[in-house]
Structures are given as C-alpha cells and as structure tokens.
C-alpha cells in the first residue's frame, strides 16, 4: 500500500518517513507494504536473482540540510530476502547551525535475510548530523549491512575542517545487544592520528551469522594492506576500513561482500544494476 507523499516542509526542514515491509510468497519475496510521507520513496522492486527483492530508496531533494529529519522503518517477514540500496550517493550539506537527522530501524524475522547496502554518504564540510541505525534480529535471521562515509570532497580539495557527525549503530540478536557503537567525527577526529588521519573515507561492514572461515578469508584478502581490519563478536563479523577515496573503499567492501554473502545469506553476489550506472 502506498500513501501519497504530502509535503512536510516546516521552518525546521523536511520531515520524511518511509515504511517498507517484505514477505515471502511461493516463488519470490514481495514488497507488501510501502508507506511514505514527505520526500522519501522507492522505485518498483527488481528481481535480478529471480526471488530476492532488490529495492532502491529515493530521496528526491538530492541532499539533506540542517533541520531535515528522515526516518526509515523496514521489516523483513519470516523467510523473506530483500536487498536495499540507493541509486546514488547520499549527501549531508553544510549547515548554518541546525542538526540534520536520519534514523533507520530494521527488523528481520526468523529465517529472513536483509541486506542494507546504500551507496556512500558524502558529508560536506560544515555539515551537522546525527545518524542512527538499529537492527533487530530474531533467532535464525540473517543480516549484511555497511556504512560508507566520505568527509569533505577531496576531488575539490575540500577537507572536513568544520562540522559534526554523530553515528550510532545498534545490533540486537533475539532482543539481546550484540553491538552498541557510537562514533563522533569532527575536525579534530578527521585530522588526528588516532582518528581518520586526514583520510576522507571510512566505513564499516557487518555480517551475521558469519563463520570462522569467512573471517579467515577476509583476513587473507586484507593481508598487510593499511587502513583495513576485521574481527568478530560471536558470529558477527565486523570489517572496518579507512581510505583516501570512497570509491576504493566501496570496491574493497564489495570484495568482502563477495566473501561473506555465500556464508551469511547463502547466495553468490549479485550486484544491483544501479551500481554500474
């Protein structure tokens, strides 16, 4: 069901919400619930793998400014499998002082698989934002997700000398906290040796359940490469990376995805067509 995208622009900024629900049918996963308010919507589902539902989230304004508030709620029902991405990089623009926020809540039911693989997010110098992602996994649920950030615009010789990005990830398995993480990035963290060391791109990839064999294979892929690391907490694989370019970082994460997807999602990779355009 789709509700109309009524304009929700206030003096504070855009207020936008998107709710998506996926359910398994006889031969494929269906997008059975699609409700949106404000400038957030999705294209029609694609099925390049036959039964897995690929969905692209659209944000027509093209970028998020101070005062904007976006909320995305996703539910993957029992036995369903959905892959969610975006058609282009997200953008948080310079703010005059107001905070922009984006909240993503994902629920994955027993036996369901959800892949959250948005393209990179560009955080302009002077942006102020808070981003929160919460993943709730039932027993037997499967999840792969990543977050790729580009601070400043290195192609324009713009670094991150002003602004603030607060990033929160929470992953719960069977209602128990598996990972609670909070990252605060500002000009000091961007430049410091203990932070991003002046490199513009950083990212994290999560996959669960992931075997020891997947962990070993990712460790082999990394080898002695600088700015790359991987570890595990129980059966949650966590891969982190720093790079001078976000496209190089994403290429690395796609290589990691190729390793973990057959293990975690029991599928070979099938890259969304939009990534090649």
pLDDT tens figures, 3-35: 443 445 555 678 899 999 999 999 999 999 999
Residue 4 inside a domain? The answer is no
In a domain, 122, yes or no: yes
Number of domains in the chain: 1
What percent of the chain stands above pLDDT 90? 83
Mean pLDDT of the chain: 92
Q: Which domain holds residue 31?
A: 15-276
What's residue 43's pLDDT?
87
pLDDT above 90: residue 71: yes
Q: Is the pLDDT of residue 136 over 50?
A: yes
Q: Domain for residue 10, yes or no?
A: no
Average pLDDT of span 117-136: 96
CA 2 to chain centre: 23
Is residue 247 in some structural domain?
Answer: yes
| Mean pLDDT to the nearest integer, 113-140 | 96
Strands (E), 109-220: 113-116, 121-123, 128-137, 142-151, 164-173, 176-186, 201-208
Tell whether 181 is covered by a domain.
Answer: yes
Torsions phi, psi for 95 (to 5 deg): -115, 145
């Amino acid at each position: 069901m789709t509700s109309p995208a009524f304009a929700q622009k206030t003096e504070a900024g855009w207020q936008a919400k998107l709710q998506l629900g996926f359910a398994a049918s006889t031969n494929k996963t269906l997008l059975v619930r699609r409700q949106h308010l404000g400038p957030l919507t999705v294209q029609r589902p694609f099925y390049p793998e036959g039964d897995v539902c690929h969905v692209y989230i659209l944000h027509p304004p093209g970028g998020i400014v101070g005062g904007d508030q976006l909320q995305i709620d996703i539910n993957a029902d029992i036995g369903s499998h959905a892959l969610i991405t975006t058609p282009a990089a997200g953008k948080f623009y310079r703010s005059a002082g107001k905070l922009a926020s984006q909240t993503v809540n994902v629920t994955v039911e027993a036996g369901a698989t959800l892949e959250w693989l948005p393209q990179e997010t560009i955080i302009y110098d002077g942006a102020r934002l808070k981003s929160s992602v919460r993943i709730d996994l039932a027993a037997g649920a499967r999840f792969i997700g990543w977050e790729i950030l580009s601070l400043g615009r290195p192609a324009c010789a713009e670094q991150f000398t002003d602004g603030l990005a607060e990033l929160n990830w929470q992953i719960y398995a069977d209602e128990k906290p598996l990972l609670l993480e909070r990252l605060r990035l500002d000009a000091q963290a961007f430049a410091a040796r203990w932070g991003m060391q002046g490199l513009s791109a950083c990212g994290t990839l999560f996959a669960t359940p992931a075997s020891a064999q997947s962990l070993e294979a990712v460790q082999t892929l990394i080898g002695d490469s600088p700015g790359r690391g991987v570890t595990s907490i129980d059966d949650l694989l966590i891969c982190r990376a720093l790079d001078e370019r976000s496209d190089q970082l994403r290429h690395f994460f796609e290589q990691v995805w190729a390793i973990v997807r057959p293990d975690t999602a029991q599928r070979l990779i099938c890259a969304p067509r939009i990534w090649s355009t």
